[in-house]
Amino acid sequence: MIRSALLLAFAASAPLAQAAPASAPLTTISERSGFQTTGRYDEVIALCAQFQKAYPKEVRCFEFGRTPEGRPMLALAVSRTGALTAEQAKKKGVPVLLVQGGIHAGEIDGKDAGFLALREALENKVAPGALDKQVLLFVPVFNVDGHERFGKYNRPNQRGPVEMGWRTTGQNYNLNRDYVKADAPEMQAMLALVNAWDPLAYIDLHVTDGAKFQPDVSIQVEPVHGGDEALKVAGAALQKNVIADLTAQGSDPKSYYMSFDKEDDPSSGFVDSMSTARFSTGYFPMRNRFAMLVETHSWKDYPARVRITHNTIVSLLSQVAQHGKEWQKLTQEADARAAAMAGSEFPLSYRTTFNARTIQFPGYEYTREHSEISGGLWTRYDETKPQMWTVPLRDEIVPDLKVAAPLGGYIVPLADAGWVGAKLKQHGISFKVIGAGQMAAEVETFRATKAKFGTQSFEGHQSLAVEGDWGRERRTVAKGALFVPIAQPKARLVMTLLEPRGADGLLAWGEFNNAFERKEYMEEYVAEEVAREQLQADPALRAEFQKKLDSDAEFNKSPAKRLEFFAKRHASWDERYNLYPVMRTAQKY
């Protein structure tokens, strides 16, 4: 494949391009090949054990889950603080940095870069002294089953390694859409790991898809656009510092995801955004913790990408060593603020405004021409001719939909308590089972005025979007229902999961679809009789019906809507239809 002269010179001069001798201890197959290939998962199993054997006081290799295909999910806890278990790290108050590779197992830079950075950090060749001040929790491969779906052509838009794994899991889940719904056993294991260790920062290592241009990596951090205000300041500093470190090492990092506003059209520029909680960078700010998405550029070759990922991990080790205690204090203060957010406004979603600024972006000369294959336009790049593009960047991100937090919390009815309780436990959210007998309570309920189901399956779910608002009602609360208090550190995550209009809540993922499906009907001939009885008995209803006929053309032309007007007013109408089962309460149980 064509490579720019600059990239070739840079990759050739980088030490990572040199093959390690076969006898070198704790080296990867990738390193020994000059970063042309990557090993299979049996190498991860072997290296995990070998690192622990070589550094028994500094490294603990452990299994934190099993994949659906029966493979062990492995992590390495690395530190010179003596905190090699979650309990020890919490007792000593040591900051934890979780670095995760291979969530998309074809994008495997993080595995090979992580083992290299780990070895050099233990040897004090990089980030000297950093492991004296933190625990590095390294997950070489998150999507293990996908990693073993090995092939040469799994990533046709990526330069190297020779063979690589697959994007999705053995059950075809995309783990980087699963942080909230946590369908995949792998994600459930990861959340258990996170709940146990409570990492200060979660680093998600990827390789981007997309066009051909010169910048080699994007570094996106949250909280920056959303989340706790004080953590946004610290998150921006973390992002700035890592970008500065990478720039000093010859990279050209960007702070936004480098995907064109319009598919395949460089002139359309870029749009930054605040990720929803299905993604790592949207999820961890809801836990008041930092998340970083590292996206090396797929058209850079594998030695260059591993070098950049390695440099990013080293920078993070140094940043956490320098600022970890300070950031720990900030997250603890953010937890306290979250626990006191009852009645405060919470942004359920964010949007990017249409305000754009013009930037200079290093690309290559390109043409947009008609394709006789597709019948549309296609873009052809000439990587021998660097070109500075003048393009728009929209990066002003503001809260969109805001909702006031409940004063007390949420009530999950008995009928849904089992599965919702299990989901809350997966996320480490506190709740209690209501022990009192059946009682009537003043609560807030959400009745949808409009419910729109997704037209096709996504990640095994039919999505649902609702319109409506909370209103006061008196409802029955049965013994065994759940009370989920808002007064807890994960209050933002509670609202993310349980608010009905959230982009990634349980309702949005289709978990409550049954409540919004009409199941009981009366035949049309019965509805005709009911309508006549109601019109005869109620002159005000007759006037309301006539007014709707006169003012609503769609209603006027629809026999079904006209009959439903009367069915809704009949005693047989299901009052639970379009009623969101979860309630809000000002009371604290």
Q: How many CB atoms lie within 10 A of CB 132?
A: 12
Does residue 490 contact residue 277 with C-beta atoms inside 8 Å?
Answer: no
Cα distance between residue 281 and residue 145, in whole Å:
23
**Which residues of the chain have a pLDDT value below 70?**
1-18, 22-23
pTM of the model: 0.93
Helix (H) or strand (E) segment spanning residue 118: helix 109-122
Task: Specify the pLDDT at position 469.
Answer: 95
Cα distance between residue 585 and residue 147, in whole Å:
46
List the one residue out of 217, 172, 229 whose CA is nearest residue 347. 229
Cα distance between residue 271 and residue 395, in whole Å:
6
Cα distance between residue 294 and residue 112, in whole Å:
15
Does residue 350 contact residue 273 with C-beta atoms inside 8 Å?
Answer: yes
Helix (H) or strand (E) segment spanning residue 66: strand 59-66
List the one residue out of 189, 182, 88 whose CA is nearest residue 511. 182
Q: What is the 3-state secondary structure (H, E, C) of 369-388?
A: EECCCCCCEEEEEEEEEEEE
CATH class of 5-337: alpha beta
Task: Specify the pLDDT at position 17.
Answer: 54
Task: Specify the pLDDT at position 19.
Answer: 79
Q: How many CB atoms lie within 10 A of CB 414?
A: 17
182: helix, coil or strand? coil
Count how many residues are written for the chain: 589
Backbone φ and ψ of 440, nearest 5°? -95, 140
Spell out where 395-497 has E strands: 397-399, 402-404, 409-412, 432-433, 439-453, 464-477, 482-485
Task: Specify the pLDDT at position 16.
Answer: 57
Does residue 284 contact residue 492 with C-beta atoms inside 8 Å?
Answer: no
Backbone φ and ψ of 298, nearest 5°? -65, -20
Cα distance between residue 4 and residue 136, in whole Å:
35
Kindly list the domain boundaries of the chain, sorted by start residue: 5-337, 357-399, 405-518+577-585, 524-567
